[in-house]
Amino acid sequence: MTAGANHGAESGFTAIVLAAGKGVRMRSGRPKVLHALANRSMLGHVLAAVQEAGAARLAVVVEPDREDIVREIERLAPGASVHLQAERLGTAHAVLAARAALEVGQDVLVAFGDTPLVTAETFARLRAPLHEGAAVAVLAFEAADPTGYGRVLTEGDRVLAIREEKDASQDERQVNLSNAGLMALSGAHALDLLERIGNDNANREYYLTDAVALAAGDGLSVAVVPVAEAEAQGVNDRVQLSQAEATIQARLRRAAQLGGATLIAPETVFLSVDTVLGRDVVVEPHCVFGPGVVVGDGCTIRAFSHLHDARLMEGADIGPHVRLRGGAVLGAGVHLGNFVEIKNATLHAGAKASHLTYLGDAEVGAGANIGAGTITCNYDGVSKHRTLIGEGAFIGSNSALVAPVSIGAGALVGAGSVITRDVPADALAVARGRQVTREGAAKTLRQTLKAAKAAREAKKS
C-alpha cells in the first residue's frame, strides 16, 4: 500500500505487536500468544498479517525472560525488533516500551498477539485514513453484547473518545460501538500523543485508547474503521481458542474450495495455514493436514487420513486411514490403501502399497508393488537405516525388510520373508522357516493339555 506524502510513502509503516500478556485464563505453562491455530501460533498469525499488509518495520513487545516467544519471533519475522515491558502498566505503556520504533517517525499500527483473526486487508483498511489526514484510526464493531468492551463515543461524525467500561457512565454503557483494540497513529503525532497519556482511571493504567480523546481535544481528525465482531475477537481462554480455530478453519476450507479442491464434508477436514491443495483434489471426510503438506492436482485423499510434512504428485490416491509422516513423497499415480504409514520415504510413480504396510526411511521404485503387512525394519535402536526397492519389484505379503537392504529392480520377495541381505535385480528371494507338518499332532496336544488341566483342578479340590 502506498502512503501519502506526509506518511512515509517510501518506507511504509511500523507495526508494534503487543505480546506481553500472561494469559492466566489459558491455564497453561505455554505463553498465550504461542497457542496455535491451524498449526501456526496466534502471534505468528498476527506477524504474518501485518507483514502482508505492508509493514516495513516490526516491533514486538514481550515480558522479560520469555525466550520461547523471542525464538518464535526470530523464526517468523527475523528482522523484527524485540522490546521488553518489565512492568504491566497498561497498553499505552506497552507501546512506549517500543519507543525506539516510534522514534523512526513512520505511521504506527498497533496490534495484539492474542487477536489472531484480523486479516491483512483489515490492517490495510485501518491504516488508510491516515493517508487522508487522520491522526488516529481505531478499529471498531457493533457488538451484539458490548459488556466488557470499551465504547467508542461519537458526536455526529466526530469521534470524541474511547471509554473503558469501568470508567463509562450509564449512558455511555448503552453505546454498542465497541473498541476492537487495534489502532493506527500518524507518524507525525504518534509519539506526542502516547507520551501525554495519563493513568487517571479506575485501573490506574495508561490506556492506549486515551490517544483518541487527546487527538480530538487537539482538533485532529480521528477515524473509525468498521470490522466484524467475529474478526476482532481476542483469545483469552481455551473456549475462545477453539472458536478462533473454527473461524480459521472455515477460511482455509473456503479458500481451498475456491481454489479448485473438493471437500466432501468440509466441516470434518482440518487444514494447516500452509496446506496446498491442487485443482481437482478430492478430500473425503475426517482428514487432517498438518504443517508442510502439498497435494498435486487430481489427487484423492480418502477418509480418516492424516498427513504431515508430505508431498503428493499428480494423481496420487491414498486412504482410507493412511498416515503420511515427515519426509513422505509420493510420485504421480502412487496408490496407498487402508492402514498404510509412510515416513521419510519416497515412492516413485505408480508404486502401490494397498494395505497394512509401514515404509520408513525407504525409496520405492516406479511401479513397485508392496504386499499387505510388509514393513521396513529401519531402526536398530541407535540409528536409522534405509531400504531401497527397485523399479517394478514385487514384495510379497507379510514380509520384513531389515535395513540397510536393497531389493533390485524386478525382484520378487516371497510372502512371509524376512530379508536381511540384498536381493539382485530380477531375483526371487524367499527367507522363511521350513514348514513342518505332523499328522494328528494337534489332536494329541489338545488331549494332553486337557488331561493336565483336569489334574490341576483335581489337586485343588
**Of residues 43, 54, 36, the one with CA closest to residue 111:** 43
Which class for 101: exposed (0-12), middle (13-18), buried (19 or more C-beta within 10 A)? buried
**213: helix, coil or strand?**
helix
Residue 355 bears catalytic tag: yes
Give the separation between CA 166 and CA 174, rounded to whole angstroms.
13
**Choice among 7, 35, 83, 355 that is catalytic:** 355
Task: Give the Å distances, CA to CA, from 292 to 222, 275, 348.
Answer: 43, 6, 20
Q: Within its chain, how far is the Cα of 358 from the centroid?
A: 27
Task: Give the Å distances, CA to CA, from 246 to 37, 198, 249, 263.
Answer: 9, 39, 5, 16
Q: Are 402 and 383 in contact (CB under 8 A)?
A: no
**Of residues 287, 351, 269, the one with CA closest to residue 324:** 287
Give the separation between CA 391 and CA 413, rounded to whole angstroms.
14
Q: Which amino acid is at 413?
A: V
Active-site residue list: 355
